[in-house]
Structure 1
Amino acid sequence: MNHPPITVWGRANSVNVMKVLWLLDELTIPYHRIDAGGAFGRTRDADYAAMNPNATVPTLVMPHGYTLWESHAILRYLCRTQPGGNAFYPEAPEARADAERWMDWTLASMNEPMRIIFWTYIRTPEAERDLAAAAQAQEATARLWRIADAALEEREHIAGAFGLADIALGGFLHRWYHLPIERPELPRLRRWYDRLRERTPYRTQVAVPLS
């Protein structure tokens, strides 16, 4: 009996949805994506709320009916349940903690200032932009990217080997380099971005025009 493929609910231009699609492509796992969130709506409909009461995207639905929300939880789950996933989420305690540190840092520190800059310049009409808030967020974000740049001094990827830490941060990294803002020169960060762009799943799912 054929089972339905993994389903991902969420619009393709959501940075959090991008993370999940990128990993699925890295794992060469077929999936079905359903537009939801933003202009597509659906996230406040009763059937969606039954899967994800937060009205956010992405939401993962497995063939056996299990549903999961929160992008980083989805990334961890897929690595633990799908063939080849362990290569992206190390078993060794220190290596795993390093990866999870950057994943948590993405949500706790990077997410909000990057959201402000992105929404200001990409999704807010020019006449309605709060440029003072954007400038403050830009300063905060530049400081954070300097932290990442320093961490890359002896590494090709943010947690050493390519894995979930790269996938967690990679969407914000692409946005950073394509937003219409001034950026400090961070050569190690730029080389990391160039390495990620060598990966077909990154180019397909993440390194796309901002919208």
Structure 2
Amino acid sequence: MPAENRLIIWGRPNSVNVQKVLWCLDELDLDFERIDAGMQFGRNTEADYLAMNPNGRIPTLVDGDFVLWESNAIMRYLCLAHGGDTPLYPPMPRHRAAVERWLDWTLSTVQPVERPLFWGLVRTPPAQRDMVALQRSADEAAATWRILDTHLATRPYVEAESFTLADIALGAYARRWFGVEGVAKPELPNMTRWYQQIEQRAGFVRHIAPPLS
């Protein structure tokens, strides 16, 4: 892709929603530029950023004169606009809808139970952690992850025989689940097998595997 047409991603690299998009870009072998924004980098509350994304959140994609926010929407767009016939976002309606439900489930169900656990164990100083509350959060998250574990008992990937956007979306959050320490977590054998498979992918290694922060 010529430099003047390079895709631009606004967002910090330790944001799980930015990581999803970076992993997708890697899977599609797309050239891009990333600009730090959010938390310690700021920028996302400035007028020029809010003109692109009035939510003041990350990531935001700029593709020429087209601007898009919401990480799952960005991944779908990248597949449709730049992915050719990529299997990441299958064309058949039933297969695509099956992938879509997991993208929705990631944000509607996984993120709400993952966030307090991650922030409490990774972004809160040890002396300020309420470990009793965090164990309750871990138990709630485990109940959600058991749904995926049961689903994965009969298939190698989240939806279908091949790797899709569903694996990217859930894999980024699974990195946090498997990576946090200090709480009791149940054995999830099917999810563990799936995770050990996807963590070998180059995009995961580059964008998801770095230490949690």
TM-score w.r.t. structure 2 length? 0.94
The equivalent residue for 2:156 is 156
Query: What code does the residue aligned with 2:24 have?
Result: L
Distance 1:159 1:37, change over 3 A: same
Deviations 1:125-177 (A, max 9, x none): 12222334322221111011111010001111111221110111111111111
1:29 pairs with 2:58: no
Distance 1:48 1:70, change over 3 A: same
C-alpha separation in 2, matches of 1:84 and 1:133: 46
Query: What code does the residue aligned with 1:45 have?
Result: E
The equivalent residue for 1:203 is 205
Preserved CA contact (<8 Å) 2:49 2:56: yes
The equivalent residue for 1:113 is 113
The equivalent residue for 1:185 is 187
The equivalent residue for 2:46 is 45
RMSD: 1.3
Instruction: Report % sequence identity.
Output: 47
Offset at residue 185 of structure 1 (A): 0.8
C-alpha separation in 1, matches of 2:85 and 2:39: 30
Q: Secondary structure at the match of 1:86?
A: coil
C-alpha separation in 2, matches of 1:133 and 1:85: 46
Deviations 1:12-43 (A, max 9, x none): 00000000000101111000000000111110
C-alpha separation in 2, matches of 1:138 and 1:30: 37
C-alpha separation in 2, matches of 1:86 and 1:200: 17
* Alignment map for 1:67-106 (pairs within 5 Å): 67-84=67-84, 86-106=86-106
1:126 pairs with 2:126: yes
State how many pairs are aligned.
210
Preserved CA contact (<8 Å) 1:110 1:144: yes
Preserved CA contact (<8 Å) 1:8 1:58: yes
Distance 1:85 1:35, change over 3 A: farther
TM-score w.r.t. structure 1 length? 0.95
* Alignment map for 1:56-71 (pairs within 5 Å): 56-62=57-63, 64-71=64-71
C-alpha separation in 2, matches of 1:197 and 1:126: 28
Distance 1:14 1:85, change over 3 A: farther
C-alpha separation in 1, matches of 2:3 and 2:121: 45
C-alpha separation in 2, matches of 1:32 and 1:49: 19
Gaps of 5+ in 1: none
After TM superposition, what 4+ stretches of structure 1 lie above 4 angstroms from structure 2? Answer: none
Gaps of 5+ in 2: none
Deviations 1:35-62 (A, max 9, x none): 0001111100000000001111000000
Q: Secondary structure at the match of 1:88?
A: coil
